Each structure stands twice: as structure tokens, then as C-alpha cells.
Chain A
């Protein structure tokens, strides 16, 4: 299937351009020293400054970071142990469990959001920090499982047996063999969970209340009112955080080969 290379490259460039140009525009405008004009008026930090001068916004950002950190951590523990169990053991319902995790990952956000809302409402749980945390852990778990399983899948399946054979107990196997080998995937899983949690709109929309605001929802309500340079700046920061996390995660996952 040898086609001329030039149109191929052109096509790739066009699609990448489509993916990145709007983001680039957003980032550039966040530094533009003009509130309304589209023309470039010189660079400024003013919009970023405004963000950092807004204590409410800082609180909201802190809330988001807190939820992301906690939910990523809980999901990482549950997801990692689940992946290890799925790989190592045979147990009743293993196939069902595997399928459930896959289905959970494919579930549209809106379906998960209202399902959890109905759950929390029927338990009379007030919507806020705790409900949000539970929801975020739930949608993060499958991503950690998949990330870690991807890594274990590449292992020689006799590694664990070899360790036991050489005298390692169950616990020693976990901490001397599995953990060091899984570490990159576990950290990557955590970082991906953090980003997912940091960026989630749809599920959070249904399961948090006015008592506990988070950044994506704040941005959503701001954006509905119109485009402002401050939102540009805020979105740019969000982009930067995501980018950093993804780069580290990808680096960790690549190192394996």
C-alpha cells in the first residue's frame, strides 16, 4: 500500500492542527493584554494575577486538588490490588468481575452520574465532599486496573512462582517483586486518575452540591456566561496540569521495554 508520502504527511498535519489549534489559541489569548479584542496587544500576566487574587476560586481549586488526590489514591490502592488479584488468582466470579470493570469504564458519564445521584439520594446522603469522593473513586478504579494489568500482562508468568520457589512468602513476593515491577504502572495509574478526577464535569455535576464546589463545575458555570480572559487563564492552567501529569505517566509506562 505505497501511497505518495507527501499527502500522507499533509493529512497528519491537518488532523494534528485540528486537535491542537483551538487549544493553542486559548493559551495564547490567556496572555493577551486585551479584555475584548481579538488582536494581539502584547503579553500580560494580569489574568493569571486576577485568578490568584480570587480567594473563592483558590478554595475551589484546592477542593478539586483534594478530591483528585484522595480519589486517585484510594482508586490506586483498590485498582492495583484488583489487578494483582485478577492476574494471580482464580476465584469465583473472576470473569464477571473482569467484564464489570470493562463495562464500568465504558459506561457513559451521564449514566454513572445519575445512577450515583439516585443512590446517594436514596441513602439520604447530603451531596458534597463525601459523595463526590465516592463517585470519583468509582470512575477511577477501572483506569488503574487497566493500567496495572497492562503492565503485569507483560511479565513472565513464572516470576512469582520463581520468588516463592526461592523462599519468598506471600508478603515478600508482593513487596520485593510485584511492587518494584509494578511501580511505574501504579504511579502512572495514579496520575491518570488524578487528571480524570481533576477534569470531570459530567459525574461531578450530579453528585456534588453547593457546599463543595470544584474547578470543572466552576469553569462550566463561568463559561456559560461568556468568554473572559480569566477563564482562558484558568483553562490554560488546567491544560498545563494535565499535560504534566500525562507526560510523566507516559514516560513511566514507556520505560518498560
Chain B
């Protein structure tokens, strides 16, 4: 998809919303491209569901503009919008069969007869439920209900499909499978998806772009990779995945490279931010980017550059071994070591609590941000 020619199907400009004294959105602006899978990610109460409800028309913004497909949405009631929602609780009509649930929207558009049947069965086939068309929602499993909810929404061929934590009620395995299915469905239909979740793994694995939200603001908008590898602030860094935070100070600035003092060492690192000498910074490193050296590994010369530490906790996780280590300076770091099949003989991950280890990381894989706390 060529970003420069694709038009934005959703446009939010300076949208704000409050419930009484409780402000849930503060001047949020956001553009969603046609055919995009955009995820709103954030902790509960960050305003992500409110954005969805504003788009669906269930709530009215206090200020700002909302347009869908170039049309101003401010006075349009939900039933007039080419937008459909998949609810967290599915909200299937309990008194109607699966078929009638899916047919609800088309019937209101005065589709009838064979056309209706065809349309509904197509949608049900898409979610592999054509055999259960005559059942009532109460007779379906959670996963099946979820599929009906999706079929009921996409059968209307909406411009935008809104999904409000649709997978949160499913168990882990089913959730994984549905993530994949949803992603495939979205590619096949070419409908714009706006997906709300608080599960960062889900957000990263499904989305074209992710908007990380906190306290009514979008903290960062970018591809999953940008969000994970180049977080723009401490909140995003901490909310998406686990991260270690080392406090440092700029001792020499030659943008984009800086000499940064970390405890008793000075390391030369790159940053897209501009710092001056003396600035305090956060050096953020993902657990999987940290490398652990054991006492017998490497030469003394190599070891001199490393941070000495002790193992405090060993957590075996199947495919990885996580270590909590305490640097001799006192900082606590968490690391993830992958079992490497080639090195299996060489690299033994059988760490002991209290063991002396040495730490470093692949330089330039870290993120350096201005100090905040």
C-alpha cells in the first residue's frame, strides 16, 4: 500500500470528551488510512473505547471534528453511519437465530429474498458458521458467538469496522487463532479496522499501525516495529513489552552521537534526540537485547567493558530463561536468554542464583530518551 496516495478514511481533529469532571480525551487527533488495520492500545480508562464509541456515534464529542469518509459525523446518529461495531460482549440478539442476527442489518437496508440469503450465508461462510445458522446465540460457544458478531458486522460492508476488545473473553489458544483469522479477514475484505485492546502482544501482532494511548492522549502512533523498537517516551517504552531503564548523563555531545556516563563507565551511543552536555537521559534496553557473560566466558580485556552483576532470580519459561540480575551499582535488570539450538552444547543456560555474571548489549539497539520519571 502506498501511503502517500491512500486517503484517510477516518479523521479526528482535536477531539475532546469529558464525563462530568472526568476528562477522557484531550485534543486527540488521528488519521486512519483506508484499508488499514489500526489498533488503539492502552491501559483501561485511557480513552481508547471512547474513541470507538465516538466513531460509532454512541457518544458525542465535546469539541473537535470527526469525519468518516470525508463526511462530518457530528450530527449523524449511529444508524446512519457506514460503520459497524463488534462489541466486547458480542451483544448478539438472544431472541434471534444466528441467521437472523446476521440478517438484521441487511434487512434494515431493505435487502430481501435470495439476495439476503446469499449475503448472510456468505458472511457466515466467511466465519465458518454456515452450519449453525439456525441456532440461537445461547447455544453457541464463546468463540462461535464471537464469529457471529463479526459476521453480523461485516455483512453490511461497512467503510470501517470497529472492534472493542473482541477477543478478551476468549481463552488463550482461541484468542491466538482468532487473531490470525481476523487479520486474514481484514486483508481479504479490505475494510478499515479500528481495533481496541489492552493486550500489547495482540496489538503488535495484528496491526498495520498502533496508537498507544494514555490518560486521554495518544502517546505514540506508528508501526508495531516503531512502537516496540523506538518508543518515543517512557510510557510507551514501559507499556509495550518489558524494558530496562538505566539513568545516565551526557558528558559529550556530538549529535547524533553522545558520550553517556552510566555509573562508572562512559559509552558512546546514538540518539535521534538532541541533548546538551550535562543532560540527564534514560537508556532503555529490552531484556532480550541484553547479553549475559558468565565468569569463564571472554577475556579479561573484554570483560573490563562489561557491567558486573549477580543473578538474583532464575525463571525458566520453556523457550527462554529469564534472569533478574542486580548490577554491582545496585540497578535491577531483567534479561531474556533464548535457547539457541546451535550453541546448545556450548551455551548452558543453567544459571544459579547468586552467580556472578557480566552484562552488556548490542550498542545502538537501545533507546535513549530525555530523563523523565
- What is the interface of chain A, defined by CB distance below 8 A to chain B? 156-159, 161-169, 172, 176-177, 180-181
Question: For the complex, would chain A's binding face be called helix, strand, loop or mixed by DSSP majority?
Answer: helix
Residue B109 interfacial (CB < 8 Å): yes
Stretch among B77-85, B197-205, B251-259 lining the A interface? B77-85
The answer to whether A181 and B79 have CB atoms under 8 Å apart is no
Residues of B within 8 A of A176 (CB): 104
Residues of B within 8 A of A180 (CB): 95
The answer to whether B79 and A168 have CB atoms under 8 Å apart is yes
Stretch among B8-16, B33-41, B86-94, B327-335 lining the A interface? B86-94
Residues of A within 8 A of B57 (CB): 164-165
Complex Cα spacing A166 to B87, Å: 12
Contact with A along B64-85 (1 / 0, CB 8 A): 0000000000000111100111
Complex Cα spacing A180 to B94, Å: 10
Residue B222 interfacial (CB < 8 Å): no
Residues of B within 8 A of A157 (CB): 89
The answer to whether B77 and A167 have CB atoms under 8 Å apart is no
Complex Cα spacing A165 to B155, Å: 13
The answer to whether B78 and A164 have CB atoms under 8 Å apart is yes
The answer to whether A166 and B108 have CB atoms under 8 Å apart is yes
Nearest 8 pairs of A and B residues by beta carbon:
A158-B91, A162-B91, A166-B105, A164-B78, A167-B108, A158-B87, A167-B79, A165-B85
Nearest CB in chain B: distance from A9 CB, A: 35
Nearest CB in chain A: distance from B26 CB, A: 23
Partner of A166, one of B77, B89, B94, B104: B104
Complex Cα spacing A163 to B109, Å: 13
The answer to whether B152 and A164 have CB atoms under 8 Å apart is no
Complex Cα spacing A163 to B83, Å: 12
Complex Cα spacing A157 to B152, Å: 18
Residue B214 interfacial (CB < 8 Å): no
Nearest CB in chain B: distance from A109 CB, A: 37
Residue B156 interfacial (CB < 8 Å): yes
The answer to whether A164 and B91 have CB atoms under 8 Å apart is no
Complex Cα spacing A181 to B89, Å: 17
Name 8 interchain pairs, CB-CB below 8 A, sorted by A. Answer: A158-B87, A162-B91, A165-B57, A165-B84, A165-B85, A165-B153, A166-B84, A167-B156
The answer to whether A161 and B108 have CB atoms under 8 Å apart is no
Partner of B85, one of A156, A159, A162: A162
The answer to whether A166 and B95 have CB atoms under 8 Å apart is no
Residues of B within 8 A of A165 (CB): 56-58, 78-79, 83-85, 153
Q: Which of A159, A172, A181 has the most CB of B within 10 A?
A: A159
Closest A residue by C-beta to B104: A166
Interface residue tally for chain B (C-beta within 8 Å): 26
Q: Which of A159, A161, A165 has the most CB of B within 10 A?
A: A165
Closest A residue by C-beta to B78: A164
Known: A161-B56, A167-B108, A169-B79. A156 touches B84 (CB 8 A): no
Residues of A within 8 A of B85 (CB): 161-162, 165
Q: Which of B304-342 contact A (CB under 8 A)?
A: none
Nearest CB in chain B: distance from A228 CB, A: 50
Residues of B within 8 A of A161 (CB): 56, 58, 78, 85, 87, 91
Complex Cα spacing A54 to B259, Å: 110
Residues of A within 8 A of B92 (CB): 156, 162
Complex Cα spacing A30 to B129, Å: 60
The answer to whether A177 and B93 have CB atoms under 8 Å apart is yes
Residues of B within 8 A of A172 (CB): 108
The answer to whether A181 and B94 have CB atoms under 8 Å apart is yes
Nearest CB in chain A: distance from B137 CB, A: 10
Closest A residue by C-beta to B84: A165
Residues of A within 8 A of B156 (CB): 166-167
Complex Cα spacing A156 to B104, Å: 17
Nearest CB in chain B: distance from A187 CB, A: 14
Complex Cα spacing A180 to B95, Å: 7
The answer to whether A156 and B91 have CB atoms under 8 Å apart is yes
Residues of B within 8 A of A159 (CB): 91, 93
Complex Cα spacing A164 to B91, Å: 12
Nearest CB in chain B: distance from A178 CB, A: 10
